[in-house]
A and B are shown apart, each in its own frame.
Chain A
Amino acid sequence: MKKYILLLLTTTFSFVLFGQDVEKEVDKPVRSPFESGYLIDNQTTVIPVEGTLEFAIQHKFGTMDNGFSDLFGIYSPGANIRLGLNYVPIHNLQIGVGATKKNMYTDLSAKWTIFEQTRENTIPVAVALYGSMAIDGRNKSVFGSEKVVDSKGPAEEEDVAFNDRLAYFSQLIVGRKFTHWLSLQAAVSFTHYNMVGWDYNHDMVGLHLNGRVKFSPQGSFMFNYDHPLKIKNISEQSNWNTHPEPNVSCGVEFSTSTHAFQIYVGSADGIIPQDIMMYNQNDWLDNGLAIGMTITRLWNF
């Protein structure tokens, strides 16, 4: 037995030594697969350098369906805005906080880029995890006495508690920079609301596809598609009447040393991902598109 252990130790040790020799040739991460951590209203696998503070301004106007009468949604009252601050305390980990007009959401988020794609394909894709928790901050009176707990016995009305205001979003993002001008990402997400209307589901699984096509050193076309899946097994409803519409958007991005400026048209009126995945009822094929902007500013410390 001892002989086997000795043999195992020596072989492992030699592998470790061999491994160290190989590691001298470091395969570096690819150069900026995206210019910013934001892509329209989604996240990219990119996290700025450690010690960076990022200020994000995200704005969506009302839908463009009224045309000139409300200047394609710019005069519309249905606008939404989010202001966010993100910080990178350690390499490839970002934490953030934000406030959104719609539903008076306050959100806390974290993003961890587990792997970065490398130049020699030692790691062929970038992988990131993103999580966000939002608190619906509206006054108690907005919810009224609508909370009904469906127990086995007679339905009982209850007050809205802090827990009921929470909504979660978690996402696994896989991205690849194919050429210096093309980067694509696919992602799967899970959204959970602690409390929803009686005709909604608490849980939603979504698929995401987005990317950018660079057309100049500072300019790119961008697109994004978020699809909430109809999964009968996790649905609490007998029909899909309240099932959200996909979020479809495309636009352009211009970036500088410290800014990324994105202007786009998209269908979701929500800005935080859990809201988009649960409540978007704007159909992009049926007058549901609105103009929006995402602007980021970086400071290095």
Chain B
Amino acid sequence: MKKSKFIFLTYPLAAVFAALILMAFAGSQDKKCGPEWDVPAKYKTMKNPHADDASLERVGKMLYSKHCKSCHGAIGLGDGSKAASLGVAMHSFAEDKFQAQSDGVIYYQSFIGRDEMPNFEKKIIDDEDRWALVNYLRTLKK
């Protein structure tokens, strides 16, 4: 068999590959949550017109399962099946820090989004449905 003219690259490439593998061990596996959210004032003071509307419970749960569960996890701990492939860690919805935010802020985070958190305005179009989801996130409190 004729030898390739690139045979001389074998050892350097093997060395680079080995170095890359070793470097992977050196890096931290611990992912950090993103920086604080910069929420516009409009959303901070936004009132939830459907707060305590029990008729929307099932709607919120359905929407959570379809749109949020794969990343945020079945009960919102931030441990969904796609969580590992994300660059940042997610706050748990059960945490006091998350639950202390106003409904308007959660609305902004959920539907406007940023970076890895996608915008859901075109996926969940009806405002009533969006508030149903915010209401559902409230039920995930510890």
Chain A residues within 8 Å of B, Cβ to Cβ: 28, 31, 49, 51-52, 180, 216-218, 255-258, 300
Contact = CB atoms under 8 A, between A and B. Distances in A.
Interface of B: 58-59, 61-62, 64-67, 70, 120, 122-123, 125-126, 128-129
30 contacts: A28-B126, A28-B128, A31-B59, A31-B129, A49-B122, A49-B123, A49-B125, A51-B122, A52-B122, A180-B58, A216-B65, A217-B61, A217-B62, A217-B64, A217-B65, A217-B66, A218-B65, A218-B66, A255-B66, A256-B66, A256-B67, A256-B70, A257-B66, A257-B67, A257-B70, A257-B120, A257-B123, A258-B123, A300-B122, A300-B123
Given A28-B126, A217-B62, A256-B67, 14 more contacts: A28-B128, A31-B126, A49-B122, A49-B123, A49-B125, A51-B122, A217-B64, A218-B65, A218-B66, A255-B66, A256-B66, A257-B67, A257-B120, A300-B123
Contacts of A52: 122
A46 to B, nearest CB: 13
Top 9 nearest A-B pairs (CB, nearest first) are A217-B65, A300-B122, A257-B67, A217-B62, A49-B122, A218-B65, A257-B123, A218-B66, A49-B125
B135 to A, nearest CB: 15
Contacts of B129: 31
A256 B65 CA distance: 8
Contacts of A258: 123
A217 B133 CA distance: 14
Nearest to B129: A31
Contacts of B66: 217-218, 255-257
A258 B82 CA distance: 14
Contacts of B58: 180
What's the dominant secondary structure at chain A's contact region? loop
Contacts of A31: 59, 126, 129
A230 B125 CA distance: 44
B64 to A, nearest CB: 8
Contacts of A257: 66-67, 70, 120, 123
A218 B67 CA distance: 10
Nearest to B71: A257
A217 B57 CA distance: 13
Contacts of A216: 65
B114 to A, nearest CB: 17
Contacts of B122: 49, 51-52, 300
A88 B58 CA distance: 29
A255 B70 CA distance: 11
Contacts of B64: 217
Contacts of A28: 126, 128
A52 B66 CA distance: 18
A208 B15 CA distance: 64
Contacts of B67: 256-257
Nearest to A301: B122
Contacts of B61: 217
Nearest to B119: A300
Contacts of A217: 61-62, 64-66
Contacts of A218: 65-66
Contacts of B62: 217
Nearest to A180: B58
Most chain B CB within 10 A, of A28, A31, A51, A52, is at A31
B24 to A, nearest CB: 30
B76 to A, nearest CB: 14
A255 B63 CA distance: 11
A138 B128 CA distance: 51
A113 to B, nearest CB: 15
